[in-house]
A and B are shown apart, each in its own frame.
Chain A
Amino acid sequence: MAVVQTRGLTKLFAKGQVGAVVDVDLESREGEFLVLLGPSGSGKTTLLRMIAGLEEPTSGEIWIGGVLVNDLTPRQRRIAMVFQSYALYPHLTVLGNIEFPLKARRMPKEERRRKAQWAADLLGIGRLLGRKPRELSGGERQRVALARAIVREPSLFLLDEPLSNLDAKLRASAREELEQFQKKIGTTTIYVTHDQVEAMAMGDRVVVMNQGAVRQIGTPADVYDEPQDTFVAAFLGSPPMNLLEAAGVIVGFRPEHFHPSAALPADEPVLKLAFRAKHEEYLGAERILYGVLEGGPFDGEKAVARMSSTLAARFAPDVVHDFAVAKKDLKFFDREKETRTEPRALA
């Protein structure tokens, strides 16, 4: 039985359409880490808020644990949510914050204490119980918010960009920790982020959203390697997939699949492209080469290549180099619908 299921879920706002959600069908699997990924305004937070019961759908159904919850209040849905701002109660201590959901369930004091202690220990914040939120660092606040969410052992966890308020260094370690933590408690989790690195690193499956609609659902490898439309192709990856138009079709290939011809095995069927290098970015572990294609079906189109820094070859600017893409790495998209189509021969 799916923990969360949405059927034709739609939310329209009167003013403009930013954040709207259109006809979303989604089904989470037991214990999975499901990431909603999309640019800001793509409706991912609205979708999460509808599942939490903080936003009323315009139409469609939400099922949690086999129960239709459209008309249930957030309180009745018995789920836990971590907000982007953490939304800690500033006038309560850490203990008071963690105990609050238990108090709301009228759990006796003794049991409440025990549970709160368990949650706090699980997140390593046992020594902070007497402090107020304003006396905590960003990372500690995030842990308190998590402890408050897990303390009543919910069947579903909703997380709304919980790492975006942490600085870059802390974010990487918090990401790792959060992932381990989720594996340990095994609670089905829906995680909203606009950060593709987070999505790829943490998600069992990733739901890519744009303009309120789900564009693709799949494992990180699925959505990265087999994008179903040009939006997914261009949104994931940094730099994004090269998308080039020719003969009524859009051809895409990842910058890391765009190699100097010499680097590819001789027996590999390839698409050869003449590439005029423009400038290079050296990023330590890798190099990004920007340039323009010359001749052939893509004459004049810009392209990007991404190579390991260990590759010795040098590419003088404004010189044409022989590059190639293995045919198996080419993705084809319909020019009108911008969705994936069958590979075809290029002129």
Chain B
Amino acid sequence: MSGVRQRWLGPAMFLPAVLYVVALVGVPFVLAFFYSVGDVKVGSVGYHFVGFRNFTSVLQNPTFLRALRNSFVFTVASQILVLVGANLLALVLKNAFRGRRFVRFLILLPWVAPVSIGSIGWKWILDSLYSVINWVLVRLHLVKEFSAPMWLGEPKLAMMSVILVHTWHMLPFATVIILAGWTAIPKDIPEAAAVDGAGFFRRMFQIELPMMLPIINVAVLFGVIFTFTDMTVIYILTRGGPYDTTQVLPSLAFFTGILGSDLAEGAAISIFLVPLLVAVAWLMLRSAHRAEVV
């Protein structure tokens, strides 16, 4: 192969990916920055630089502050549930048993199915009139027919519901990552720990989990970023309601910027978390790098 071809082949193969990222991620991202310090509305023709006015404005908006808090609650709670759940599932699935492949397939299903379809299913499951959960609870005489819980209509229950549905959606991915981490631990090491006198919990918490830390970090990193930036489950289940109690930053940005036509303020809301997410990503990549599995 000639020198020139060798020199240009790599970059040429790489180019479509770069173009794709620049066009679909880079441009909107720069545009959002640009909008967030301007006065753009849907349909407006000019652009005036307004500095941080949009940011000070959203910071004074109680809905924004509430959405900010909700974003943290939503993310932290769902990630804790995902982590615990994924570890438990991985623990069960790493051992061979009859039908393991089928169970693995079932668990992966929520990740493979489009989240909107899954969420619509959940919307029916949690519906105020047709909820199958309530139907079961009523038949079991655990609740009365006319005072059944409104899963999506009461602030606390609504938050709980969106967290659980989001957890359901995120669980398979984390499980697969953690399962991969677990199978990467040489069999000798937990065996050595067993002979050394460590019981199940000591093996798990002092040997296996610390060895998997870099991989768990990856799972958490992805989980946090997907959750902070995602609004599908909330948009379909509650649209941020009731009374903005499940409103998170991405959904608020969408409602303000697209449905409410205030592009500039929407942009300010949507990039508000960028510094935080960058910091999270940096921290986790660093710790993953430091704790490399031998």
Query: Which residues from chain A sit less than 8 Å from chain B, CB to CB?
Result: 52-54, 73-75, 77-81, 83-85, 87, 89-91, 100-101, 103-105, 132-134, 148, 152, 158
Contacts and interface: CB of A to CB of B under 8 A. Distances in A.
B194 A133 contact: no
Given A54-B194, A91-B291, 14 more contacts: A74-B195, A75-B194, A75-B199, A79-B195, A83-B188, A87-B192, A89-B193, A100-B198, A100-B206, A101-B196, A104-B198, A104-B199, A134-B294, A152-B197
Nearest to A77: B195
Which of A80, A83, A87, A133 is the most central at the interface, judged by chain B CB atoms within 10 Å of its CB?
A: A87
Nearest to A134: B294
A100 B192 CA distance: 10
Nearest to A55: B191
A74 B194 contact: yes
A89 B197 contact: no
B127 to A, nearest CB: 48
Nearest to B188: A87
Contacts of A84: 188
Given A85-B186, A90-B211, A90-B293, A78 B191 contact: no
Contacts of B191: 54, 74, 83, 87
A73 B188 contact: no
B8 to A, nearest CB: 39
B84 interface: no
A273 to B, nearest CB: 50
Contacts of B197: 75, 78, 101, 104-105, 152
A90 B197 CA distance: 18
Interface in B175-225: 186, 188-189, 191-199, 202, 206-207, 210-211, 213
A173 B191 CA distance: 28
Contacts of A132: 294
Q: Is the interface of B mostly helix, strand, loop or mixed?
A: helix
Contacts of B293: 90
B199 to A, nearest CB: 6
Contact of B195 (A81, A91, A134): A81
24 contacts: A53-B194, A54-B194, A73-B194, A74-B191, A74-B195, A75-B194, A75-B197, A77-B195, A79-B195, A80-B196, A87-B189, A87-B191, A89-B189, A89-B211, A91-B291, A100-B193, A100-B196, A100-B198, A104-B196, A104-B198, A104-B199, A132-B294, A133-B294, A134-B294
A341 B192 CA distance: 44
A85 B202 CA distance: 21
A52 B188 contact: no
Which of B191, B192, B194, B294 is the most central at the interface, judged by chain A CB atoms within 10 Å of its CB?
A: B192
B52 to A, nearest CB: 45
A53 B195 CA distance: 8
Which of A54, A89, A91, A152 is the most central at the interface, judged by chain B CB atoms within 10 Å of its CB?
A: A91
A148 B211 CA distance: 19
A78 B95 CA distance: 26
Contacts, number: 67
A54 B199 CA distance: 13
Contact of B294 (A75, A90, A148, A158): A90
Contact of A104 (B188, B189, B202, B291): B202
Contacts of A85: 186, 188
Closest 7 A/B residue pairs (Cβ): A104-B197, A87-B192, A87-B188, A90-B294, A101-B196, A134-B294, A74-B194
A293 B105 CA distance: 67
A132 B292 CA distance: 12
A275 to B, nearest CB: 49
A201 to B, nearest CB: 26
B195 A80 contact: yes
A84 B195 CA distance: 14
Contact of A91 (B188, B196, B210): B210
B207 A89 contact: yes
Interface string B211-242: 10100000000000000000000000000000
Contacts of A79: 195
Contacts of B213: 91
A104 B199 CA distance: 8
Contacts of A158: 195
Contacts of A133: 294
Nearest to B213: A91
Nearest to B209: A91
Contacts of A54: 191, 194-195
Contacts of A148: 196
Given A91-B210, A100-B198, A81 B294 contact: no
Contacts of A104: 193, 196-199, 202
Nearest to A76: B197
A248 B206 CA distance: 63
Contact of B186 (A74, A87, A101): A87
A79 B194 CA distance: 10
Nearest to B212: A91
A133 B197 CA distance: 20
Nearest to A101: B196
Nearest to A89: B207
Contacts of A134: 294
Nearest to B291: A91
B198 A75 contact: yes
Contacts of B210: 91
A54 B188 CA distance: 10
A1 B114 CA distance: 67
Nearest to A91: B210
A90 B186 CA distance: 11
